[in-house]
Amino acid sequence: MPPPSAPRSTWDIVGVGANAVDHVYILPVSLAGGPADAKLRIRRHVISSGGQVATMLAAAQKLGATTAYVGTIGAGDDAAILRADLARSGIHAARLVSRDAPQPFAVILIDERTGERIVLWDRDARLRLEPGDVPADVIAHARLLHVDDVDLEASIDAARLARAAGVPSICDIERAANRVDELAALVTCPIFAAPGLSEITGVGDPERALRKLRKTHPGVLTVTLGPAGAMALDGDALVHVPAFAVRAIDTTGAGDVFRGAFAVAWLERRATADVLRFANAAAAVSCTRLGAMAGAPGRDEVDRRLTA
């Protein structure tokens, strides 16, 4: 389903939501299920900016979209890293709300054999994005809005502003939470992670879960399935596109890269199957390198994956 026409825009995509700075540690094995007294030497350590919306925008920007970010930022060295990475990525800081609190961060432990990771994170409550922090004029000058499920009240407010301005929207929903169904109902094309879709609908099978949501939502409904690719319900037609096989180095941010590529392909008015295939290819390439924002691929890299 192609996007409807939008008002005169300044940016292709405006993102409202979370950011973080990731401290990534490459380990020789996974700590999941390991002994409590494990002692492992770190193979490599990198610092890379990330977070759901910041990574999504970085991916979209590298794929040729113009982007703007609305979110909070803390203080200290990590906050300086994030500011620099946003600028380096070409993302316009449309509304970066500074708070006197530590910058959100994550410690990511990666199994060098598989690229799978354990994520440990923290975010000070003072960094909550409030509805009043969301600028209506910024959203009105977007071709597309993207929101996440971190600060739900702000995301719901942003989705309402977009709808009032005639701007289509997508969202990243990873979990069941109070009012998350309200957010999903407001956006044009919600995108779910498989566990969150199951929690929200009470249905374990992705197809049946999407068809249950179809009773209350007319838009394209999408769910990411990890190694199984992605699935969408477009009208009554189910579209399933398998993932691309890669040797994963770091799977951090792959879902966010998927959403950035999805947004770009959707704005290009591609058919739903082509949107999913393009997004799967971008996510696959991102898994072959370290870092969330840093791992986002360019269009030539995605095109090579599509034609390989």
Nearest to 155 by CA among 146, 164, 166: 146
The terminus-to-terminus CA distance of the chain in angstroms comes to 27
Domain boundaries, the chain: 11-19+51-103+128-307
Pairing between β-strand 230-234 and β-strand 237-241 as defined by DSSP bridges: antiparallel
User: Is 298 exposed, middle or buried (CB count within 10 Å of its CB: 0-12, 13-18, 19+)?
Assistant: middle
Pairing between β-strand 105-111 and β-strand 117-122 as defined by DSSP bridges: antiparallel
Q: Locate 8 and state its tokens.
A: 């005169």
Q: Locate 53 and state its tokens.
A: 């919306």
Q: Which alpha helices (H) appear in 166-226, and where do they start and end? A: 180-186, 194-201, 206-214
Kind and range of the H or E element at 189? Answer: strand 189-193
Rounded alpha-carbon distances, angstroms, from residue 28 to 110, 113, 116, 251: 8, 7, 12, 16
Fold adopted by 11-19+51-103+128-307: UDP-N-acetylmuramoyl-L-alanine:D-glutamate ligase (3.40.1190)
Query: Does residue 204 contact residue 180 with C-beta atoms inside 8 Å?
Result: no
In tens digits, the chain (308 residues) has pLDDT values of: 444 444 457 999 999 999 999 999 999 988 887 777 888 899 999 999 999 999 999 999 999 999 999 999 999 999 999 999 999 999 999 899 999 999 999 999 999 988 888 999 999 999 999 999 999 999 999 999 999 999 999 999 999 999 999 999 999 999 998 999 999 999 999 999 999 999 999 999 999 999 999 999 999 999 999 999 999 999 999 999 999 999 999 999 999 999 999 999 999 999 999 999 999 999 999 999 999 999 999 999 999 999 98
What is the spatial distance between Cα 66 and Cα 243, in angstroms, rounded to a whole number?
27
What is the spatial distance between Cα 94 and Cα 134, in angstroms, rounded to a whole number?
10
